[in-house]
Amino acid sequence: MKDIMRAKCLISAEIESLINQQIRKEAQSSAIYLAMASWCDRNGFDNSAAYFFKQSDEERHHQLKFFKYILDMGGTSVSPDITGLKIEYNSFREIFEDALDQEISVTQSIKSIAARCHKEQDYVTLEFLNWFFKEQREEEYKARRAIELFEIIGEQGTGHWEIDKHIGKIQYDSEA
Amino acid sequence: MQVIETIDSQVKLQEVFSTKSGSVSQCDRENCWYIDFAGKVSRFDYRCLLLLKKAVYNIDIEALLLKNAKSADIEIVFICASDHFYVLSTLEIIALKELLQGTFTMLELNHIIQDRLYRLAV
Ligand SMILES: [Fe+2]
């Protein structure tokens, strides 16, 4: 009997559904960063607002990369609806702690897609995921560095102003 | 797998899975499946079969069973952009779900056999 399913679609139904969940996660990240940009802007942290606007764009880009991958492989990508976003934050620092949490959870969920790929011997999707692993290295590095600024500069006096000034300068330039 | 002859002897159907309430057969030549269920035989291509799976799997059977008995025990399974639809009772939905679950398991098994045996051998 012919394997019609395989001829129509490279990825399995399970991988397709995991990537669709990832699409939702990336869309959620993008929306969260936008909410963070809004809070920073309203509270006078212009550089941080710009930083989060840029992060939001990047997450949208990740979302589309996953979205197009499913379509290219012959599957069905689903445009997610995002609800229940946090709009207010208790402190400037809380934003960066939430941002790191978000990135850690994104790394974790990409890892579980990879685990499934190993199980199915889906080396094609695994190779596709490599780009995201490298990206997550950078995202987590930047989020961690931002929190470290709070330790190094301190939050007293003009601390927040100083931290905001340095947020835009965080860069990850590993050759590896 | 059992080979069934259809009215048109050119078209060979292979049974994928069957239960006492219905059966699903694959046609290699037309790249499609024939589902014999609820008194009719319908032809499904790849896209429609996946849509049917989604439609049936998404039905909350528990909710149907707990539903107020005063309303009619009837559910319409409709597939967008195709002429397929089923008007089914809760028991028939359970039977159709069972049929589809078996079918997709057999298709998955067929995929594994193709991958591990034939594609490696040739
Ligand atoms: Fe991302």
Q: Is residue A114 part of a domain?
A: yes
In the DSSP assignment, the letter for residue B116 is: I
- Give tens-digit pLDDT for A65-92: 999 999 999 999 999 999 999 999 999 9
Domain that holds residue B108: 3-121
- What CATH number should be reported for the domain holding residue A72? 1.20.1260.10
Q: For chain A, how many structural domains are there in total?
A: 1
Q: Tell me: the pLDDT tens digits for A4-52?
A: 988 899 999 999 999 999 999 999 999 999 999 999 999 999 999 999 9
Distance from CA of A137 to the nearest CA of B (A): 35
How far, in Å, CA of B108 to CA of B113, rounded? 9
What integer pLDDT is reported at residue B75 of this predicted model?
A: 84
Q: What is the pTM of this model?
A: 0.85
Cβ atoms within 10 Å of A53's Cβ, excluding its own: 17
Residue A151 falls inside a structural domain: yes
pLDDT number for residue B10: 63
- In contact, B96 and B79? CB cutoff 8 Å: no
Split at pLDDT 50, 70, 90, the class of B68 is confident
Beta-carbon separation of B28 and A2 below 8 A:
yes
* Domain-embedded: residue A14: yes
**pLDDT band for position B2 (cuts 50, 70, 90):** very low
Q: Is A153 helix (H, G, I), strand (E, B) or coil?
A: helix
Q: How far apart (Å, rounded) are the C-alpha atoms in residues B21 and B88? A: 13
Return the SS3 of A154. Answer: coil
Rounded Cα–Cα distance for residues B122 and B119 (Å): 6
Q: Give the closest-approach CA distance of A13 to chain B in angstroms.
A: 10
Q: Does A174 map to a domain?
A: no
H or E stretch including A19? helix A13-42
CB spacing of A6 vs B28 below 8 angstroms: no
Query: What digits encode the pLDDT tens for the residues B88-103?
Result: 999 999 999 999 999 9
Domain count of the fold of chain B = 1
Q: What ipTM does the predicted assembly reach?
A: 0.80
Tell me, yes or no, whether A123 lies in a domain. yes
Of A1, A3, A8, the CB nearest to B14: A1
Task: State the nearest Cα–Cα gap between B31 and chain A, in angstroms.
Answer: 6
Domain with A156, as residue range(s), is: 2-77+85-167
Asked if the structure places residue A172 within a domain, the reply is no
In a domain, A109, yes or no: yes
Which residues of chain A are within 8 Å of residue B115 when distances are taken between CB atoms? 3, 6
> Residue B97 carries which side chain, given as an amino acid letter?
K
